[in-house]
A and B are shown apart, each in its own frame.
Chain A
Amino acid sequence: MKTFKTLFATETKLMIRDMNNLIFGVGFSVVFAIIMGMVMGGKPAFEGADYSFMEQSFGAVIAIGIGATGLMGLPLALADYRHRKILKRFLVTPVSPGMLLLVQFIVNLLVSVLCLVLVYLVYVLFFDYGMRGSFLRFLPSYLLVILSIYSIGMMLASISPNIKTANLLCCAFYFPMFFFSGTTLPYEIMPAALQRASDILPLTHGIKLMKAASLGLPMEHMTFPVLLMIALAVLCILLSLRFFRWE
């Protein structure tokens, strides 16, 4: 516990001093929320929809922050520590790989939660937003999406042999999800072919899940996204521990 507390406190300070994670994990979503609100505020999600564009976009904007922290911030921090032999120093101490992964996980979770709170405030204060669905239902969906996206990030960090590959893999995972999973361009207005392609991306299902929860839509169609998220999380966490490399 002492190890966790100290590592967590220090890594959080380092993350704040570095700013990158805050800019991409929080700032980006907030700016995006403001711009989108100014352009689309008040319009329906699509023709005939009984909820507004802003209402349906909430989960998607939050997902931008989840992707940035989970698929960029988290794996790149770990890959960088390995590249600069900081993990090698940890290797000759009693600390476990699980602890190091957990600390990075929680530090990035903190950034995501900050993103959630600020985006929510922007929506409520400027764009007259109120969550239709229950927050108690949204929160578990949100945490499940975090768990599965972060575990993909940890797995990427573990399997990349060096920082270049890590960079490449993170971009290869993050940017398609950024453009095609409905974070920026809503899934509902995508052509059917693009929707099918988009369905390959895990974040698409995460956004569907958060969207349904935030809009208060019935959850019975959500069994597949939920199971997928859980399966991904279990698989990727196991892989990230199995292939964890100190050097």
Chain B
Amino acid sequence: MEKALIVKELVKSYGSLTAVNHLSFEVDNGEIFGLLGHNGAGKTTSIECILGVKRADSGSALIFGKDPKKDRRRVFEKVGVQFQQTNYQDKIRVDEICQVTASLYREPADWEILLDTFGLTEMKRKMVAELSGGERQRLSVLLALIPKPELVFLDELTTGLDAKAHRDVWRYLEGLKKQGLTIILTSHYMDEVNILCDRICILKKGETIFQGTVAEAVEGSPFDHLEEAYLWYSGEEAYADENL
């Protein structure tokens, strides 16, 4: 079977700033892969280049052996995407955006069940614009799962969620993983990464600083916990920025 994702030597710069520098990694089927790094490290740019939303300067990305730019319609039949920031049509209701999303795929998931799983059933008839930050976040993850994907990209999946919602989403994703779903996610929460990710890649200003399992990341650092190890890899001066 084809690998879920193969990224080779991806480069993307904006003017003189190199946002992603020779990024290479592979993701196996059924794996959860975490792309980590501070804001501006190049996570979102990497994902957008992989998906073909942004044009990479060089390098390649193959999703299940196919180029998403050339084979867009076939690739995205079975790939779900949650962007970091999701905008919706004005005055659209929750059930309407779910219906529209489901209508785009040949064999979509039952979105009413997904609404229930994500605790949004009561919001069904509400305008998306009226949802709270956490509800919107859950909705954006839910929409990425409507294609019944084999691979899903989740860019900051739990930002803005409360503790309980965090755990609910994690549990749900772990369940999907058991059914064979491959997940590529970005996150700022190391407890989330610790629980979910099989392997991680830490980016710093577009450069790959570390790639391997969570255990290897901790081992390779002078620390005992992923959080500290991560901060050590990604550099303390960036840590200070993050808190501004």
Contacts and interface: CB of A to CB of B under 8 A. Distances in A.
A91 interface: yes
Given A6-B102, A17-B91, A91-B53, 4 more contacts: A2-B103, A7-B100, A85-B87, A89-B86
Contacts, number: 66
B86 A10 contact: no
Interface stretch (A93-101, A188-196, A225-233): A93-101
A51 B88 CA distance: 51
Nearest 6 pairs of A and B residues by beta carbon: A6-B103, A92-B81, A17-B91, A94-B73, A93-B104, A84-B87
B217 interface: no
Nearest to B140: A89
Contacts of A171: none
A84 B88 CA distance: 8
B103 A7 contact: yes
Contacts of B74: 94
Given A89-B86, A94-B76, A14 B92 contact: yes
A88 interface: yes
Interface string A72-109: 00000000010011101111111110000000000000
Contacts of A89: 81, 83, 86-87
Interface in A38-91: 81, 84-86, 88-91
Contacts of B92: 10, 14
Contacts of B87: 84-86, 89
Interface of A: 2-3, 5-7, 10, 13-14, 17-18, 81, 84-86, 88-96, 246-247
14 contacts: A2-B103, A3-B103, A7-B103, A13-B96, A14-B89, A14-B90, A88-B83, A89-B83, A90-B104, A92-B76, A92-B81, A93-B105, A94-B76, A94-B77
A55 B52 CA distance: 54
Nearest to B95: A10
Contacts of B179: none
A247 B53 contact: yes
B70 to A, nearest CB: 14
A21 B131 CA distance: 26
Contacts of B99: 6, 10
A247 B49 CA distance: 13
B91 A6 contact: no
Most chain-B Cβ atoms within 10 A of its Cβ — which of A10, A17, A92, A247?
Answer: A92
Contacts of A6: 99-100, 102-103
A104 to B, nearest CB: 12
Contacts of B16: none
A37 B102 CA distance: 48
B90 A18 contact: yes
A95 B104 contact: yes
Contact of A94 (B83, B88, B104): B104
A223 B79 CA distance: 50
A27 B101 CA distance: 32
A247 B73 CA distance: 17
B149 to A, nearest CB: 11
B51 interface: yes
A13 B100 CA distance: 12
B73 A10 contact: no
A160 to B, nearest CB: 19
Contacts of B147: 93
B85 interface: yes
A88 B53 contact: yes
B73 A96 contact: yes
B88 A86 contact: yes
Contacts of A247: 53
A34 B113 CA distance: 52
A75 B102 CA distance: 25
A39 B102 CA distance: 52
A18 B96 contact: no
Contacts of B51: 91-92
